């Protein structure tokens, strides 16, 4: 127990808690920033975050939103427009849906080239925009499918992984791979935690299925992102997010420095009570669990 305490305290010493991003003491040429819990709460943008984003751009940096949304970026931009995230606060949106669509359209590697054309969709109807216009055929019979395309739950308000057990057993009997368009496990909807596509994909893997993931923390979505943001060295790009498992781990493995936002959708992992400041020991423990070490933590995205 003493050895574990020493390790956590060592991690703690390397994660300063900032009151504002300006305290970092250096500027980056580009910022890759998560959306949900960092820029907005799905209903309204965070005013301080918008001020911060505008300041980053005024300093000459490029601001890129990288989201595990299983839909193309224009769909996400329309949502940001509806809730009032101003266009002048960012330069570009990249989504896990973009990466999914690109991989399917170009069949850019062996696993995607081998998929076949017929898919069974697991998820809500609006998410089918991720394959709209592509040369694939939707089927409703698992026996006719070449692969599963998982973009969510049919009914996230009431379903769990067990609702998909029969479908997954049948898909495994046919040897179908799964394309997962969002690796997130859970998300907050109001005051409720609901499952994301990543939870279904993890269950399919546990049952012996093959899953091809698109989105954070997987390297391919960062490759896709860097291809679009321009000629930036990794040391000149900072990733900011509120989830160690995806935002921080993916960016860190890709070679980017990171900042953790503690007041996002996983605030209970970093704050002893909702109104209390972040607890450095809790930050250290959560980051050590995912084997990540951000250069700093911050309660909210503020300048």
The three-state DSSP-derived secondary structure of 227-282 is HHHCCCCHHHEEEEECCHHHHHHHHHHHCCEEEEECCCCCHHHCCCCCCCCCCHHH
- Residue pair 261/268 in contact (Cβ under 8 Å)? The answer is no
In this prediction, residue 83 carries a pLDDT of: 96
pLDDT at 8 over 80: no
Number of residues that this document lists for the chain? 303
Q: What is the pLDDT of residues 52-74, one digit of tens each?
A: 999 999 999 999 999 999 999 99
In the block, which residue shows the tokens 């998820």? 123
Q: Is 204 helix (H, G, I), strand (E, B) or coil?
A: helix
Listed in sequence order, the DSSP H helices in the chain are 2-13, 47-58, 73-83, 96-106, 110-113, 165-173, 197-206, 219-229, 249-254, 280-289
Confidence of residue 14 (pLDDT cuts 50, 70, 90): confident
Q: How far is residue 114's CA from residue 239's CA, in Å, rounded to a whole number?
A: 33
DSSP state of 45: B
Confidence band, pLDDT 50/70/90 cuts, at residue 176: very high
Checking 265-268 for CB contacts under 8 A at 24+ apart, the result is: 265/36, 265/37, 265/187, 265/188, 266/37, 266/242
Question: Can 2-68+217-298 and 114-213 be said to share one CATH topology?
Answer: yes
Q: Cβ-count burial of 170 within 10 angstroms (0-12 exposed, 13-18 middle, 19+ buried)?
A: middle
Q: What's the maximum distance between 2 C-alpha atoms anywhere in the chain? A: 58
What pLDDT is stored for residue 188 in this prediction? 66
Higher-confidence residue of 15 and 26: namely 15
CATH class of 114-213: alpha beta
Dihedral sign from CA coordinates of 26, 30, 36, 40: positive
CA distance to 135, 136, 166, 274, per residue, from 139 (Å): 13, 10, 17, 46
pLDDT of residue 189: 66
Q: Which residue has tokens 């980056």?
A: 28
34: preceding bond cis by omega (within 30 degrees): no
What average pLDDT does this structure show over 45-53? 97
Q: Is it the case that residue 75 has pLDDT exceeding 80?
A: yes
Joined together, the tokens standing for residue 277 give: 């400041």
* Closest by Cα among 34, 73, 105 to 249: 34
Distance CA 214, CA 94 (A): 12
Which residue has better confidence, 199 or 8?
A: 199
The pLDDT confidence band at residue 157, using thresholds 50, 70 and 90, is confident
Residues 6 or more apart in contact with residue 183 via CB below 8 angstroms: 68, 96, 197, 198, 201, 213, 214, 215, 216, 217, 218, 246
For 77-110, write each residue's pLDDT tens digit: 999 999 999 999 999 999 999 999 999 999 999 9
Band the pLDDT of 25: cuts 50, 70, 90. confident
pLDDT at 130 over 80: yes
What pTM, to 2 d.p., does this model score?
0.91
Domain boundaries, the chain: 2-68+217-298, 114-213
Radius of gyration of the CA atoms of the chain, in A: 20
Q: Per-residue confidence at 190, pLDDT binned at 50, 70, 90?
A: low
Residue 261 scores a pLDDT above 70: yes
pLDDT band at 265; cut points 50, 70, 90: confident
Domain 2-68+217-298 has CATH 3.40.50.1000: yes
């Amino acid at each position: 127990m003493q050895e574990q305490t020493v390790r956590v305290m060592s991690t703690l010493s390397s994660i300063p808690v900032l009151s504002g991003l300006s305290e970092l003491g250096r500027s980056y040429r580009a910022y890759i920033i998560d959306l949900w819990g960092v820029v907005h709460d799905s209903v309204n943008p965070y005013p301080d975050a918008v001020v911060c984003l505008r300041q980053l751009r005024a300093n000459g940096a490029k601001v890129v939103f990288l989201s595990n949304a299983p839909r193309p970026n224009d769909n996400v931009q329309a949502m940001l427009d509806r809730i009032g995230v101003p266009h002048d606060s960012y330069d570009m949106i990249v989504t896990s849906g973009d990466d999914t669509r690109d991989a399917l359209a170009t069949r850019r590697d062996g696993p995607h080239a081998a998929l076949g054309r017929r898919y069974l969709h697991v998820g809500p109807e609006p998410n089918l925009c991720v394959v709209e216009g592509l040369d694939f055929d939707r089927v409703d019979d698992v026996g006719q499918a070449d692969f599963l395309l998982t973009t969510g739950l049919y009914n996230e308000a009431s379903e769990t992984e067990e609702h998909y057990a029969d479908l997954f057993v049948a898909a495994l009997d046919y040897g179908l791979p799964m394309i997962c368009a969002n690796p997130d496990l859970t998300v907050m909807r109001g005051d409720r935690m609901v499952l994301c596509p990543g939870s279904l994909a993890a269950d399919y893997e546990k049952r012996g299925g093959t899953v091809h993931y698109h989105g954070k923390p997987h390297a391919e979505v960062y490759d896709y992102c860097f291809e679009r943001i321009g000629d930036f060295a990794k040391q000149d790009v900072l990733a900011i997010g509120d989830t160690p498992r995806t935002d921080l781990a993916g960016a860190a493995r890709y070679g980017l420095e990171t900042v953790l936002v503690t007041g996002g959708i996983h605030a209970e992992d970093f704050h002893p009570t909702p109104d209390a400041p972040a607890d450095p020991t809790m930050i250290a423990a959560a980051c050590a669990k995912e084997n990540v070490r951000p250069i700093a933590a911050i309660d909210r995205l503020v300048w």
